[in-house]
A and B are shown apart, each in its own frame.
Chain A
Amino acid sequence: MRFALRRVGFFLLTLWAALTLNFLLPRVMPGNPVEAAISSLHVPLTTSEMNAIAAQFGINEHQGLVAAYFTYLGHTLTGNLGVSFVHYPTPVTTYIETGIWWTLGLVGTTTVLAFVLGTAIGAISAWRRGSRLDSTLPPLLVFTTAIPYFWVGLMLILVFSTILGWFPSKGGYTLGATPALTWSFIGDVLDHAILPAAALLITTIGGWVLTMRNTMIGTLTEDYVRMARAKGMPPHRVMVNYAARNAILPNLTGFAMSLGFVVSGAILVEYVFNYPGVGFMLFNAVESNDYPLMQGLFLLITVAVLLCIVLSDIATAILDPRTRTAS
C-alpha cells in the first residue's frame, strides 16, 4: 500500500513538473508569445481586439508571473487548454481529438504488437539456443535497433511506394475521401497505415527480442527451471510458466522506459508519412509557433506516458508477487 501511495505521489509530481515546464518554456525563451500569436493570424487588428485575443489565449500582460502560473494551472486542470493560434478559433482540446485516434491506432497498435511479438520471439530464440533462428536473428536485430526511424520510413516509401507503387506514401487516408465507417474507408485507412506501421515495427521490435533473449538465457540457467525439468513437466509449460514468466519482468519495467522512444518514433514516422496523428500535429505546431497547441500536445503526451507506466506497474505487480509485499 505504501508502495502504491509513493508511486501515485511520484506521478503527481511528474505531472506538476510537466505543467510547470510547459508554462515556463514559452515565457523564458526569446520572443513575445502575444506578438507571435498575433502575427500568425495575419490580420490587422485594433488594440482592443488584440487585448481580447490575448485574454482569450490566457496571456494577460498585467498579471504577474505567479498569478499567471496559477491561472494556467487552474485552466489546465479544468480541461481548458486554450485556443489554437493557427486553427483559430478551434479550442486545443477539440483539435487534438482529431489526431489522437490516428496515433493511438498506428503507434499504439504497433507498440503493443512489437512488444508481444518481440518478447515471444526473444523467448523462443533463447529456448532454442544454437538453432538457425538464434544464430541469425540477434546480429540482424542489433542492426535494426540502430536504424533511424525516419530513414526506414523513407526507404519503405522508396521501395514500396515510389518504385513498386503498392502503397501510398502520405496521409492517413486518400485526400478528399470522407471518413465513414464503411469497409472501403477502412480498407483505405489500412492501406495508408501499412508502411508507417512497418517502419515502426521494424525499428522497435529488435530491442524487445534482444532484451528478452538475453534475460531468458540467464533465466534458463536458474535452478527453478532445472527443477521444472526434473519434475517431468512438458517443455512448453517449462518455457512459459517458469522461464518466460520470470524473464519478462525486466522487459515490463523496460517498457515504461522505452515510451520515450515510442514517442519520438511516433513523431518522426508521422512526419515522414504526413500521418495525421498528434506527432505530426506537434511538429506542425512547433513550426508555426502555435504555443497553446504545442503546450496541449506536450501535456497530452506526458499524461499518456504516465498512464502507460501505471499500466506496466500494475502488470508487474500482477506477475511478480514479490513487488506486492512490502520490500
Chain B
Amino acid sequence: MAMPISVSSGQQTGLPDPSVLPTSQGARGRTALSRLTTAIRRNRKATVGVILLLLFTLVALFPNLIPHYNPVEIFYGPKCPSCYSRPALVQATPSSAHLLGTDLEGHDVFSQVIVGTRAVLVLAIVTGLLTTLIAMVVGVAAAYLGGSWDSVLNVVTDVLLVIPLFPLLIVIVKYIGQSGNLVLILVLTVTGWSYTARQLRSQSQSLRNRDFLLAARVRGERSFYIIMVEMIPTMTSLLLACFLGNALYAVLAGSGLQFLGLGDPNMISWGTTLYWADTQGALQSGLYLWEIVPGLCIALLGAAFALLNYAFDEIGNPALRPMRARKRARKQAAVAIPVGGLASDDAHAS
C-alpha cells in the first residue's frame, strides 16, 4: 500500500516566479490544455505515467484489440489413447498458444489478465472519484461552515482515520460474502474518504479567510455559490492529487482483498487471478508467469497513478523539479556554484 505522499506546500523560494516569465513561445494565448500537455511532455515521470495509464485504459475499453480467448473457456489437451474425452489442458506452461499458460481448470491466463483490466480500472477510477467527491463535500463543508458542524464532521473523520481500515474491510467484506466490483467500490468508498477529507479541510481552512472569499461574502453571494464557484476551482490541483491517491489506494486495497479470497472468485480481475494462482500453487508448479504478470500489472497501474501524482507535484512546485535541465544552464556560468545545501568544497569541479 502506498504511504500517502504529501502534496508539497509550495514554499516561497524568493526567486522570480518562472511561470511569470514569457517563454520562448510566449505564454499568453496558450490554452490551459496546451500548457498542461507541454508540462507533461517535459516531465519524464508524467510522460511515463500518462502512457501507462492510456495503455491500460485502452485495453480496458477495447480488450479485443489484443487477441485473446474467452477467459472462461476451457482448453483441452491432446487426446490420449485411453481417454474417453480430451482432458483439460491443466496448468500448461506458457507457449505461443497460451502466452502465460493455463490454470488448474484449463483457462487461459493471458486472457484473464487482458479481460481483467477493465474491472481493475473501473474499480480504481470510480472509487477514486467517489471517494474524492465525498471527501470534498465533507472537508470543504466542515471548513466553511465551521462551528459545531466542523467539530462533528472532524470527530467522525478522525475516528475513521484511526480505526484500522484494512481489518475493518476484511470483516465487512467477509460478512457480505462474495464481493464483486460494486460491493468493493461501495465498501472502499465508505471507509476511505477520511484522509482526503482531512487534507481538503485544512486547505479550505487556509483559504477561508482569504480576501477573494471575503469579497464574495460582502457581495452577498450565497454560501453554496462561494463554495462551488470560488473555493473549489482554486483547489483543483489538490483535488487531482487526491483523486490519484485514492485511485491508487483502491487498486491496492481492492486487489489485496481479492487476493485474500474475499472478493468474488468468479469475477475476472487481476486480484482474483492472483488468488487462484496462489491457492492453486503456481509457484510450486513452476508456473511463475501466472504469479508474476497480474501482480506486475497491478504494480504498473499503481505506479502510473503514483508517478502522475508525483509529477503534478513537481509541475506545480518548480523547486522540486529534477536538476538536469538546470545543470545544462549552469555550465555557462563562469564561477563555481553551490551544490546541494551548501557549496561543497569541490564545487569548482562543476
Contact = CB atoms under 8 A, between A and B. Distances in A.
Complex contact flag A–B (Cβ < 8 Å): yes
A66 interface: no
B103 interface: no
Contact of A218 (B8, B291, B299): B8
A218 B316 CA distance: 13
Contact of B3 (A145, A155, A250): A145
A54 interface: no
B288 interface: yes
Given A10-B158, A158-B283, A146 B299 contact: yes
B243 to A, nearest CB: 15
Interface in B11-44: 11-14, 44
Dominant SS among interface residues on chain A: helix
A155 B283 CA distance: 10
Given A150-B259, A151-B299, A254 B3 contact: yes
Contacts of B302: 146-148
Contacts of B4: 207, 254, 257-258
Nearest to B9: A218
A221 B14 contact: yes
Interface residues on A, range: 35 or more
A301 B299 contact: no
B118 interface: no
A25 B3 contact: no
A261 interface: yes
A148 B162 contact: no
B61 interface: no
Contacts of A143: 299, 303, 306-307
A154 B302 CA distance: 17
B165 A260 contact: yes
A283 B303 contact: no
Given A148-B298, A268-B259, A305-B162, A142 B175 contact: no
A135 B2 contact: no
Contacts of A302: 162-164
A139 interface: yes
Given A29-B175, A130-B340, A261-B1, A214 B164 contact: no
Dominant SS among interface residues on chain B: helix
A317 to B, nearest CB: 18
Contacts of B253: 264
Nearest to B319: A217
Contacts of B167: 263, 267, 282, 297-298, 301
B45 to A, nearest CB: 6
A307 B294 CA distance: 37
Contact of A142 (B155, B171, B307): B307
A173 interface: no
A18 B171 CA distance: 13
Contacts of A207: 2-5
B202 to A, nearest CB: 11
Interface string B169-204: 011101110000000000000000001000000000
A268 B278 contact: no
A158 B291 contact: yes
Nearest to A208: B3
A305 B310 CA distance: 28
Interface of A: 10, 13-14, 17-18, 21, 25-26, 29-31, 126-131, 134-135, 138-139, 142-143, 145-151, 154-155, 157-158, 162, 203-204, 206-208, 210-211, 214-215, 217-222, 225, 229, 235, 238-239, 243, 250, 254, 257-261, 263-265, 267-268, 271-272, 282-283, 286-287, 294, 297-298, 301-302, 305-306, 309
8 contacts: A13-B155, A14-B163, A146-B299, A151-B298, A221-B13, A235-B341, A238-B341, A250-B6
The 3 closest A-B pairs by CB, nearest first: A207-B3, A146-B302, A151-B295
